[in-house]
Amino acid sequence: MLAHTLLVLSALVLAYGAPQDRGDTDTLTRLQAQVEELKDRLTIAEKELKEVKDVPKVAFSASLGGNGLVEAGSFYKKLIYKDVITNIGEAYNKETGMFTVPVRGVYYVRMTANGPTDKTLSAVLYKGYESLLIVHEQPSGEGSDTASNGATFLLEKGDQLHVKLWPDTQIWDNSNRHSTVTAFLLYPMPDESSPTTEPNL
């Protein structure tokens, strides 16, 4: 619409040609000013559209899948979420269970977990060796327990997220996807090392 209006005004400016009197001059000046203003607005709109198009699309969800119990013995056990539900941007690797952050930004991360109540349920989300989130339930009787947790994090490009079971704990899943992990980019953030524009004084 903006580009169309700009073309119309440009055509009017050309149609007027050389001004014949004072009134023509004023009209032509106004039209030329409107054309320049619309050019500026079109440039800004094109820049904003490019920025929207350039924002990375990153989102994944996966469940443990399978049909049964996964237990950790005396050591931490890395969980591999093989049932991939969504993997936009291909940042999650279902072979390693690792989500590699493709761009610096603010991400929302969420975990859900299910397990029988005869043993502790504890799954921990790590960034490298740093614990970020935990889903945890103590043994509580018959049936099963479900736990969930979620938060937003500022993550750096190249950070790697993965989930582990604590020693002597368990988790359970089947095709209904009770135990899942999800992460998606809310918005990118500029690199702190990139130069900033100095304010006009």
Whether 8 has a pLDDT exceeding 80, the answer reads no
Look at 16-20, 137-141, 168-172, 179-183 and tell me which has the smallest mean pLDDT. 16-20
The pLDDT, as a whole number, for residue 196 is 47
pLDDT at residue 42 in the model: 74
Q: What is the mean pLDDT of residues 168-197?
A: 86
In the chain, the DSSP E strands lie at: 59-63, 68-71, 77-79, 83-88, 92-93, 98-100, 105-116, 121-127, 130-137, 144-155, 160-165, 170-173, 180-188
Reference 187, options 84, 61, 93, 59; nearest CA is: 59
| Mean of pLDDT over the chain | 83
Judge whether residue 10 has pLDDT over 70.
no
* Residue-range domain boundaries for the chain: 2-54, 59-188
DSSP per residue over 124-152, as a string?
EEEETTEEEEEEEE---SSSEEEEEEEEE
Taking the C-alpha atoms of residue 105 and residue 8, their distance in angstroms, rounded to an integer, is: 42
Nearest to 176 by CA among 47, 35, 68: 68
Handedness of CA 175, 181, 182, 183 (dihedral sign): negative
Report the share of the chain in percent with pLDDT over 70: 78
The answer, yes or no, to whether residue 14 has pLDDT greater than 80, is no
Say whether pLDDT at 185 is over 90. Answer: yes
Q: Which fold has domain 59-188?
A: Jelly Rolls (2.60.120)
Nearest to 5 by CA among 48, 46, 49, 41: 41
The predicted pLDDT at position 52 comes to 53
117 falls in which pLDDT band (50, 70, 90)?
confident
Is residue 137 within 8 A of residue 121, CB to CB? The reply is yes
Tell me: pLDDT of 16 over 80: no
Q: Mean pLDDT throughout 86-115?
A: 96
Highest mean pLDDT among 4-13, 30-39, 47-56, 143-152 belongs to 143-152
- Averaged pLDDT for residues 69-79: 94
Q: What is the mean pLDDT of residues 158-182?
A: 95
pLDDT of 187 over the 80 cut:
yes
Q: Between 184 and 144, whose confidence is greater?
A: 184
